[in-house]
Amino acid sequence: MSILTKEEILKEIEAGTIEIVPFDKKQVGPASIDLHLGDRIWTFKGINTTIPVDDRASGAGEALERKNITGEWLLLPHETVIAITREEIKLPPTLCGWLEGRGRFVHLGLSLHTTPGFIQPGVNGHIFFAITNLGHAALKIHPGTSVCQLILQRTVGKARYKGMFQHFGTRGA
């Protein structure tokens, strides 16, 4: 499997095999696409809640509470929330990806590496990710901030994601 460079990413977007909405060519770096924090997060309802970790766990449900974010909000030290990308991503069955944090935020304590970073081939919708404040100060976070990047790889063979979040947030779904 090989990682797509800027030129290859732009070719795939122009050919329509990768769809990103909204999209600006300035988002594409040497070998990744910058993605932005969306306007929805999910927070844990309480620290005394017990959440079973088993095959039925979906990451959502009774333990999480959805919040719509219209302006800045504080991510407290050692707090984790589930976030969503502003962009909707559609990948073909021949591309998969990795969601990574952006280096500029590491020194603040902002981490995206507490979440599975693999993006399945054929995904179609917003990308969910966990963000954690590993620092000692509260962080002011704004929707629309470019907090993560998507690195794309070609697959050997074709595959398509068909999980529970297959079309979450897609236009018309």
Look at residue 134 and tell me if it is in a domain: yes
Look at residue 83 and tell me if it is in a domain: yes
The structure tokens listed for 73 are: 């909000």
Look at residue 56 and tell me if it is in a domain: no
DSSP H or E run through 152: strand 148-154
**Which pLDDT band holds residue 114 (cuts at 50, 70, 90)?**
low
> Is the backbone peptide bond immediately before 22 cis, with ω within 30 degrees of 0?
yes
| Residue-number span of the structural domain to which 95 is assigned | 6-26+35-44+63-144
Residue 61's CB is within 10 A of a number of other CB atoms, namely 9
pTM: 0.85
Answer yes or no: is pLDDT of 136 > 50: yes
Backbone torsions φ then ψ of 84, nearest 5 degrees:
-140, 150
Look at residue 125 and tell me if it is in a domain: yes
Look at residue 54 and tell me if it is in a domain: no
Contact 93, 158 (CB under 8 A): yes
How large a percentage of the chain has pLDDT more than 90?
Answer: 58
Average pLDDT, the chain: 86
Distance CA 13, CA 157 (A): 20
Look at residue 88 and tell me if it is in a domain: yes
What local confidence, expressed as pLDDT, does residue 157 receive?
Answer: 79
- Which CATH number do you get for residue 116? 2.70.40.10
Look at residue 154 and tell me if it is in a domain: no
Residue 171's CB is within 10 A of a number of other CB atoms, namely 11
**Which pLDDT band holds residue 133 (cuts at 50, 70, 90)?**
very high
Answer yes or no: is pLDDT of 18 > 90: yes
Look at residue 117 and tell me if it is in a domain: yes
Task: Encode pLDDT of 152-173 as tens digits.
Answer: 999 887 777 666 555 455 444 4
Find the farthest-apart pair of alpha carbons in the chain and give their distance in angstroms, rounded. 50
- Number of domains composing the chain: 1
